[in-house]
Copies of this chain bind each other. A is one copy, B any other.
Amino acid sequence: MVAASSGPFLQMQSESLLFGGWQRRYQHNSLVCDCAMTFSIYLPPQAKLKKVPVLYWLSGSGCSDLEFSQQAGAQRVASELGIALVACDTSPRGSGVDDCGSQKIGQGVGMFINATQAPWSRHFNMYDYITAELPQLINMHFAVNPAKASIAGHSDGGHGAIVVALRNPGRFKSVSAFSPLLSASNSRWGQNVFTAYLGANQQAWKSYDATALLEICSMKIPMLIDQGASDQFLIDELDPSEFLAACERSSVDVQYRSQFGYDHSYNFVATFIEQHLRFHAAALA
């Protein structure tokens, strides 16, 4: 019931008991990214007996699936609440995948968008990966309830979680983010990535900008955002004011919390992940 360990679609790379559940890492051939992709999944003990709710986690640029799986401490609470955790990679990777030796675009920086510009458009299709291919695999191979899914993320992954939730109404029961890039088109980091992957026409950026999407999409599910007040990227990249104003205009109910003294690291995520998981559990009940 828990999972087919390996098969033609999924190769299990590692497995370890953790808080009575199973922490596993898999590799598979991705059609949409045209390369091997890796993800981690935590199956709580309850998955032995029934299909459990699932939380998708999107990490920030530079991370893989491992930071959340190893450093957030989420499994302790997921084990208690009976929620599966799926952590995907942040981009396609490997020797055949385009890269540019920069930390600002290329491998490790997928931004959960579908690139339209060469050479990125061949592999960098993380939006389709996270909205279609990965959940299809998860629903097919693991004891998760497809009707009970939520999504969360950190930094660029927080941007990804909110964009994916906005563009897929009805798919998720709740969305949350740590230190998210809320207005990618207006941050230097986001402008740099969008220009490379989507081209210079800013019209194309709007479908991946959470603030712009709020003008055309409604958000009916609970949304929780935590932002460290001592985050080194807060002022230049993560300013929430336009997003919060757009929420106000659209009557979107967002719980935005500024946490005094916290930075951009996984120490911040670890400190508040329990509250996020309990927030999602209430929506997934």
A: which residues have CB within 8 A of B?
16-20, 23, 70-71, 73, 75-76, 228, 230, 261-263, 265-268, 270-271
Contact = CB atoms under 8 A, between A and B. Distances in A.
Given A23-B267, A267-B23, A17 B73 contact: no
Nearest to A265: B16
Contacts of A262: 17
Nearest to A259: B17
Contact of A17 (B17, B261, B266): B261
A47 to B, nearest CB: 15
A16 B263 CA distance: 7
A268 B230 contact: no
A263 B17 contact: yes
Point out which of A18, A23, A263 has the most chain B C-beta atoms below 10 A from its C-beta. Answer: A18
Contacts of A267: 16-18, 23
Can you tell how many copies of this chain the complex includes? 2
Contacts of A228: 17
14 contacts: A16-B263, A16-B265, A16-B267, A17-B230, A17-B261, A17-B263, A17-B267, A18-B267, A19-B271, A20-B271, A23-B267, A71-B71, A73-B76, A75-B270
Given A17-B268, A76-B271, 10 more contacts: A16-B265, A17-B228, A17-B230, A17-B261, A17-B262, A18-B270, A20-B271, A70-B266, A71-B71, A73-B76
A89 B169 CA distance: 49
A10 to B, nearest CB: 20
Contacts of A270: 18-19, 73, 75-76
Nearest to A74: B73
